[in-house]
Structure 1
Amino acid sequence: MSVQIHALTTPPSAAQVDGWHEVLAAALACDSPDIPVPARSELAARPATDDPRVRSLRWLAAAPDGRPVGVAAVHLTTDPDGERPDHLDLYVHPGHRRAGAGSRLLATAADAARAAGARSLVADVVAGTPGDRFAPARGFRRGLALTWLRLRLDEATPPGDAVLPRPGYHLRVWDGVAPDDLIETLARAKTAMADMPLGDLDYGAFRWDADRIRVTSEAIARRGDLLHTVAAVSDDDGEIAGYTELVVPGAGDRPALQYDTVVVPAHRGRGLGVWIKAHMIRLARERHPGLTEIEADNADDNVHMLAVNTRLGFRVVRRTALYQLDLTR
């Protein structure tokens, strides 16, 4: 099949959004039926709500008769202080696989990323799907195994000791951007993520500061989503000892997504992780009575956080792997 690759305009046309949505809906229904399909309106709005420190390029693959058969996006980090690799999303319509669309899209995306100075691309692939065979066959290296879990809020009952106060700490809760008196210590706590398990990924790190936190939080708000943060703050010095973030979709049509959960190394072993997450579950119930589920991803190497999530009632829904493609060869 002769495939034509079209770069999406900014903003994308109605036909481009329709094609993008058609491919994504079909691919998710086939490979990952537990993942809700984004609404067409959300896809149309994405280019305008991208993080300003990320440059996103998107392509649509079409058959000779114009039918959409695949989509790809590369998300390039433009922040000079960022060291993390750039990311690739690639989907091919199940009815048009093994006909060259995926390979053409990958070649187009890799060439564009390489021209922009990217050193590698990372893609999240659902285990056992065609992508799990496609990626290694085209030079990707399997870097990190992830387990995705969901919590049913109508069934969740955190253990009684999970919500008990922790001596020497108090809770702070906020929406959106961190308050001025905590934003610097939050940046230091985020930097503590440098020791998170990364398997064999060459992942680098971000240099977190107050400005980066503001930009990231504001990008979530521009999408129409809500960011909630629960932090454990040390009574001794006012430093954040641990925090957890939850992003609730503004449209209310998908599970809430657990973002970071971090306990600073000097404060580990005191039950802070389960404490802040249990409080976040209670907050989600109170603030969003229509919300039914929370989803979290967990590196398989991070056995401690997997145990915390399991204790709180999260259950496995799928497994994925992060694959990395070296663009310097």
Structure 2
Amino acid sequence: MTVIVRDLTPEVPADVEDFARVRHLALPYMLWTPDAVRHHLAHSHPDAHRRYLLAEEDGEVIGTAQVGLLHESPEPGQAHLNAYVHPGRTRRGAGDLLVRAAEEYLASLGATRLFAWVLDEPGNRAFAERHGYRGSRPAHFLRLDLAQTALPPLGTPPPGVELRTGADFADDPRPLFELDAETAQDEPGDIVTEFTDYEAWVEEHWKHPLLNLELTSVAVVDGRPASFSVAYTDDTGRYATAMTGTARAHRGRGLAKLAKNDSLHRARAAGSTEAFTGNDVGNGPMIAINKWFGYEICATEVRYVRELG
């Protein structure tokens, strides 16, 4: 049996569906759909040079890789490489071929430091270390059973605070862009993210097919978004928090908890049955909030890093 690596062709429906299927099987804690795959490829910033690879064995797609430059980081030369193999098709060489092809591509773009997420399991970590990667920060995936878990009661917003939805900003999302840009800079992790291109943010994030504006909650103070909880949903009843954050001037007031609770209640009312989120282990305040809601850790990933050259 022969394994080959090739580019995903967005115009071929089977390629897109196979990528989403294998990624879901390997990483069921994140929402992946064919539309999301197409969107990432079509609307990524040109400076990201994003590329999706497929590992194929005798016509069956058994592995995927998502690679590109981290163009939103102020430090040049950084790149991401995330490879996943169908859990029932491991030890066939697909992972080795995907990593080799991805590294060659990123090196050709001038990348000098590669970041990869690796599930915290002995075999996966050994694979990464064999390829010259060193472990860095862990992060948790968390799951909440929305159908069975009692959510905290909805609270009354403090004086001067109003709860709105993302849909209320459909005509002018720039205030949410500004809040997203500020909170993204403060997220703990190995990579600093700076959102500076509003139009690119609109194309890549605001127009994302999984973004559910009706379930995205925004706490507004003096007419400006002060905190938000961004909701993604698919058509299977799965809901994911893509980002929860509060502007620096309004932290310590419980606004993140208020916004997320509002979003979760409306998600359950809309038929969502599972909620997912992710937290860097250094993000103690958000981990505490999620545990307050009843989220439980369902898996852990470790960020691995490799220096090139």
TM bin (shorter chain)? 0.7 to 0.9
Identity of aligned residues (%): 27
Quick one: which amino acid aligns to residue 126 of structure 2? R
Return the letter of the residue paired with 1:183.
Answer: R
* Matches for 1:128-207 after TM superposition, within 5 Å: 128=121, 130-160=123-153, 163-175=155-167, 178-180=170-172, 183-184=174-175, 186-198=177-189, 201=190, 203-207=191-195
CA separation of 1:193/1:169 partners in 2, compared to 1, >3 Å: closer, same or farther?
same
CA distance in 2, matches of 1:82, 1:171: 36
Match of 2:275 in 1: 294
Deviation at 1:70, TM superposition (A): 3.3
Aligned to 1:113: 106
1:316 corresponds to: 297
Supply the distance in 2 between the matched residues of 1:37 and 1:58 (Cα, whole angstroms): 17
Alignment of 1:279 with 2:262, yes or no, is: yes
Among 214, 218, 222, the residue aligned to 1:231: 218
Q: Which residue of 1 is the match for residue 83 of structure 2?
A: 90
Decide whether the 8 Å contact of 2:73 with 2:193 is kept in 1: no
> Structure 1's 158 and 116: CA in aligned 2 closer, same or farther, altered over 3 A?
same
Secondary structure of 2:117's partner?
strand
What residue number does 1:211 align with?
A: 199
Render the CA deviation track for 1:67-105: whole Å, top value 9, x for unaligned.
555332314456798969433231234565445432222
Contact 1:152 1:294 in 2 (8 A): yes
Give 1:48 shift.
5.5
Provide the secondary structure at the position in 1 that maps to 2:166.
Answer: strand
Task: Indicate the SS of the match to 1:323.
Answer: strand
- Could you list the runs of 5+ residues in structure 2 that have no partner in the other structure? none
CA distance in structure 1 between the aligned counterparts of 2:112 and 2:168, rounded to whole angstroms:
32
| CA-CA distance at 1:292 after TM superposition | 0.4
Distance 2:198 2:242 in 1: 18
Structure 1 gap segments, 5+ residues each: none
**Does the C-alpha gap of structure 1 residues 95 and 280 become closer, same or farther in structure 2, counting only changes over 3 Å?**
closer
Amino acid across the alignment from 2:156 = L
| Cα 1:219/1:130, change in 2 over 3 Å | farther
Distance 2:49 2:55 in 1: 20
Distance across 2 between alignment mates of 1:24 and 1:281? 25
Residue of structure 1 in register with 2:54 after alignment: 60
Is residue 90–residue 106 contact of structure 1 (8 Å, CA) maintained in 2?
yes
Residues in 2 aligned to 1:268 and 1:100: alpha-carbon distance in whole angstroms = 48
- Whether contact under 8 Å (2:64, 2:98) holds in the other structure is yes
Cα displacement string for residues 161-220 of structure 1 (whole angstroms, at most 9, x for unaligned residues): x6221233222212396442x62364145323312211xx2x132234542442234441
TM-score normalised over the length of structure 1: 0.78
State whether residues 72 and 194 of structure 2, in contact with CA within 8 Å, keep that contact through their aligned partners in structure 1.
no
Aligned residues: 305
Q: Report the counterpart of residue 258 of structure 1 in structure 2.
A: 241
Q: Give me the whole-angstrom Cα distance separating, in 1, the residues matched to 2:249 and 2:30.
A: 38
Q: 1:292 to 1:129 in 2, by over 3 A?
A: farther
> So what's the TM-score if we normalise by structure 2?
0.82
SS state of the match for residue 103, structure 1?
helix
1:138 Cα offset (Å): 1.3
Distance in 2 of aligned mates of 1:3 and 1:194: 40
Greater displacement, 147-156 / 81-90: 81-90
Matched, 1:7 2:7: yes
Tell me the C-alpha RMSD between the 2 structures: 3.3
Amino acid at match of 1:245: V
The residue matched to 1:175 in structure 2 has which SS?
helix
2:227 is aligned to: 242
